Amino acid sequence: MTAPRFTAACVQMRSTRDPLRNRDDAVRLIREAAAAGAQFVQTPEVTNLCERDTKRLRETSQSEDQHDVLAGLRQAARETKVWLQIGSLSVKAGEKIANRAYMIDPQGEIVARYEKIHLFDVDLPNGETWRESNTFSGGDRATLVETPWGLIGMSICYDVRFPYLYRAEAEAGAVMLTAPACFTRQTGEAHWQVLQRARAIENGAFMVSAAQGGLHEDGRESYGHSIIVDPWGRVLAEAGNEPGLIMAEIDLALVADARQRIPTLRHTRSFAVETRRSEQPKLDAAE
């Protein structure tokens, strides 16, 4: 039996403070991707809204059942007959905001949700400070989605720094892993591509990650460089930092090939960690 092939597209955006404008930009690019032959389309993290001001974020975000951007993207999937992964939307959920991803089928139905597990609470050397946990609720469940091509594992942005998440998804059968993002320019320049390639190589899986790119209205600067990587770590397509599309053919025969050549999933073993204490005396600080 021939392994399935399909065309994947990443929608790169520069989301603004206006959710409806962002919705329309995303829909336009989804339609362009479908017209060019994409069967799977992914948008980036916070597709609907880039907003650093917590008060404005709360005021602008909507609950899932009243979410104009979600409704518009579901309609776009229905019209274009693509599988659509919404990288994430800010969604009102109790006292905090959920950073929630969606998988939408070609009928426009929500078949899966995923909430970002690892929240970005960091102080960067250039003075940028991020405290996502002050605003966003964190998820506690990994999500795989059944598609016509096999299982796809979902994640969001900062999750990509936690390899055990992707290993768990690969061990559960994922053939494609995803990490749509709004990476900062500073961390993206340092680590974005190597992390994407590493997650693909470690798990013998495709990695598909749409991104935000450029200087946003709220003052943040995101790295862009939406990327599609094959299971051997080869970059099949990569964007710059401008809004637009990248596309690549996903040949799932390459997953079986990579996992046969380097069978790390079969070689995983449990182990204990022990600390050996030295019998040597500690050096004086002056020494």
Distances (CA, A) of 279 to 180, 276, 282, 284: 49, 9, 9, 15
Q: What angle do CA 144, 142, 60 make, to 5 degrees?
A: 100
Catalytic residue among 45, 51, 115, 169: 45
Distance CA 89, CA 86 (A): 7
3-class DSSP state of 11: strand
Catalytic residue among 116, 132, 169, 238: 116
AA identity, residue 217: E
H-assigned helices in the chain? 19-35, 54-60, 68-80, 163-171, 185-187, 193-203, 253-261, 264-267
Catalytic residue among 50, 51, 115, 157: 157
* 157 given a catalytic annotation: yes
* 116 given a catalytic annotation: yes
Which secondary-structure segment (H or E) carries 271? none
3-class DSSP state of 125: coil
3-class DSSP state of 251: strand
Burial of 64 (0-12, 13-18, 19+ CB in 10 A): middle
* 45 given a catalytic annotation: yes
Catalytic positions are: 45, 116, 157
